[in-house]
């Protein structure tokens, strides 16, 4: 299958300006295309990864990605999918976030020999005078049409600032600049960006007299109908290892709902489509499929060595789904020598000061410190639900405290649920 057919087979295609024209373009030219990311934080989370995976497939097929990190548009704030305006960030924070996101995205996209371009729209948007912008593009944008965009219409009851209303114009201008200066012919992004993206194709047609296209990717939801990318405790799963450890990243994928595994593997692994469908057959070994998904997703984000270690650590603790490797796969997981990788449990540390505090270190508070829940109230609910144990001894008292006796053997294992745990050590 050609790249457009593969994108469709994997579920990446939601809307296109002209399906036949896009398929022909991708089949006959080496196309420069772009995806934009606003640096609203200093790390991406897994909810951001769907367009990144589409970029990887496109690059593998020979096309050239332009990765735009919006140092200028982040100053405005995209209203799409938001009920209220985004908090205003300082220019220093935005610049720091831009650098962090460019570094993270470069893990997924090859940059050598001109195979990709990384750009920051602050390089052109911040140099344009307001009156110059109005004169250049203001007559092309119909207020009536902008008001009909879903990103605008959905915010009218709650209130939409004039600042945010301009976002669509800036995104359209980005596409025009990238077409003019780089020859970019295709924009890709989430389905909530459709109105902004179509505005860009119209601007280019009317200002430059060129035909370009856009294609949206569906918003990914979890099995509960919520936006994909959060743990059972409601925490985002980040690419930054200081915010989500490699092991927790692996476990997020390993704990995927059975009904989601095939879809997630089609999106987030490079394995061939036919192989994925065979591995994820409901009559087969679904837990092995989850191991493969977790291994491949972790390998992409953190590297092969980190993925091997996370796989062996989880398997050592909970058991391997396919110890004899009966499920045939081209995934690198099949070649992992489990005896050569040191299993390391994810670790949390407490200080002597926390233990010696007159109020003591409660187990609900420790659960929060260890990243196993978000609040003390969540911790108490976990205990009341019988989900918490220390060295496999269930905790039943929500008021129980951690003391130095718990560290008699140097550390202990704190568990919240079946597959979330930490080795807790005392920091000297």
Closest CA to 175 of 147, 198, 191, 146: 198
> Mean pLDDT, to the nearest integer, of 221-233?
81
* 334 pLDDT above the threshold of 70: yes
1-215 CATH fold: Rossmann fold (3.40.50)
319, 300, 94, 86: CA torsion to nearest 10 = -60
Confidence tier at 410 by pLDDT (50, 70, 90): confident
Q: Is 75 a catalytic residue?
A: no
pLDDT, residue 266, reads: 98
Q: Is 73 a catalytic residue?
A: no
Is 167 annotated to bind ligand?
yes
Q: Is 45 a catalytic residue?
A: yes
> Mean pLDDT, to the nearest integer, of 411-415?
88
Eight-class DSSP state of 390: E
Q: Is 403 a catalytic residue?
A: no
Closest CA to 25 of 186, 227, 233: 186
* 232 pLDDT above the threshold of 80: no
The percentage of the chain sitting over the pLDDT mark of 90, rounded to a whole number, equals 66
Q: What confidence tens digit (pLDDT) does each residue in 52-81 have?
A: 999 999 999 999 999 999 999 999 887 776
Q: How far is CA 293 from CA 215, 256, 263, 296, in A?
A: 26, 9, 10, 5
Is 249 annotated to bind ligand?
no
Name the active-site residue from 104, 192, 298, 415: 192
Q: Is 17 a catalytic residue?
A: no
pLDDT, residue 352, reads: 85
Question: What's the rounded Cα separation, in Å, for the pair 28 and 261?
Answer: 34
Name the active-site residue from 48, 63, 155, 302: 48
* 342 pLDDT above the threshold of 70: no
* 115 pLDDT above the threshold of 70: yes
Lowest mean per-residue pLDDT among 9-23, 53-67, 393-407: 393-407
pLDDT, residue 354, reads: 86
Confidence tier at 367 by pLDDT (50, 70, 90): very high
Cα-based angle 118, 241, 375 (whole degrees, multiple of 5): 125
Determine which helix (DSSP H) or strand (DSSP E) holds 261, and give its type and residue range.
helix 261-268
pLDDT, residue 82, reads: 67
pLDDT, residue 63, reads: 97
345-424 CATH fold: 3.10.290
* 104 pLDDT above the threshold of 90: yes
Confidence tier at 364 by pLDDT (50, 70, 90): very high
* 83 pLDDT above the threshold of 90: no
Confidence tier at 202 by pLDDT (50, 70, 90): very high
Q: Is 93 a catalytic residue?
A: no
Q: What confidence tens digit (pLDDT) does each residue in 172-183 have?
A: 999 999 999 999
Q: How far is CA 372 from CA 85, 320, 363, 380, 396, in A?
A: 30, 23, 11, 12, 17
Q: What confidence tens digit (pLDDT) does each residue in 263-322 have?
A: 999 999 999 999 999 999 989 999 999 999 999 999 999 999 999 999 999 998 888 999
Confidence tier at 366 by pLDDT (50, 70, 90): very high
Is 34 annotated to bind ligand?
yes
Q: Is 230 a catalytic residue?
A: yes
Domain ranges of the chain: 1-215, 244-339, 345-424
46 alpha carbon, distance to own chain's centre: 2
Q: Which CATH class is domain 244-339?
A: mainly alpha
């Amino acid at each position: 299958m050609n790249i457009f057919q593969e994108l469709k087979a994997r579920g990446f295609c939601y809307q296109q300006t002209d399906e036949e024209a896009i398929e022909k373009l991708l089949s006959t030219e080496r196309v420069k295309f772009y995806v934009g990311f606003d640096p609203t934080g200093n790390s991406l989370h897994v909810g951001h990864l769907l367009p990144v995976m589409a970029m990887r497939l496109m690059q593998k097929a020979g096309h050239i990605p332009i990765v735009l990190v919006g140092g200028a548009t982040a100053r405005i704030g995209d209203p799409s999918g938001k009920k209220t305006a985004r908090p205003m960030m300082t220019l220093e924070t935005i610049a720091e976030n831009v650098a962090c996101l460019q570094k993270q995205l470069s893990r997924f996209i090859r940059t050598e020999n001109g195979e990709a371009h990384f750009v920051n729209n602050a390089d052109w948007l911040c140099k344009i005078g307001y009156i110059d912008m109005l004169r250049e593009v203001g007559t092309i944008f119909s207020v009536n049409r902008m008001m009909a965009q879903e990103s605008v219409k959905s915010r009218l009851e709650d209130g939409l600032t004039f600042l945010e209303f301009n976002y669509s114009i800036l995104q359209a201008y980005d596409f025009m600049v990238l077409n003019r200066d780089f020859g970019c012919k295709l924009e890709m992004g989430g389905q909530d960006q459709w109105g902004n993206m179509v505005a860009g194709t119209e601007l280019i047609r009317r200002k430059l007299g060129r035909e370009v296209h856009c294609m949206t990717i569906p918003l990914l939801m979890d099995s509960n109908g919520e936006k994909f990318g959060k743990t059972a405790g409601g925490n985002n799963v980040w690419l930054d290892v200081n915010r989500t450890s490699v092991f927790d990243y692996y476990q997020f994928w390993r704990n995927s709902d059975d009904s989601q595994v095939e879809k997630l593997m089609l999106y987030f692994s490079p394995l061939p489509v036919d192989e994925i469908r065979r591995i994820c057959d409901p009559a087969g070994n679904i837990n092995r499929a989850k191991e493969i998904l977790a291994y491949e997703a972790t390998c992409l984000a953190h590297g092969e060595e980190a993925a091997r270690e996370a796989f062996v650590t989880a398997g050592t603790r909970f058991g391997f789904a396919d110890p004899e490797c009966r499920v045939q796969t081209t995934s690198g997981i099949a070649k992992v020598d489990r005896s050569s990788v040191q299993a390391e449990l994810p670790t949390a540390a407490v200080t002597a000061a926390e233990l010696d505090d007159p109020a003591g270190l409660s187990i609900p508070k420790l659960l929060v410190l260890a990243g196993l829940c978000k609040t003390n109230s969540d911790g108490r609910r976990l205990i009341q639900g019988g989900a918490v144990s220390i060295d496999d001894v269930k905790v039943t008292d929500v008021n129980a405290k951690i003391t130095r006796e718990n560290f008699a053997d140097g550390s202990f294992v704190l568990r919240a649920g079946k597959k979330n745990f930490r080795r807790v050590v005392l920091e000297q």
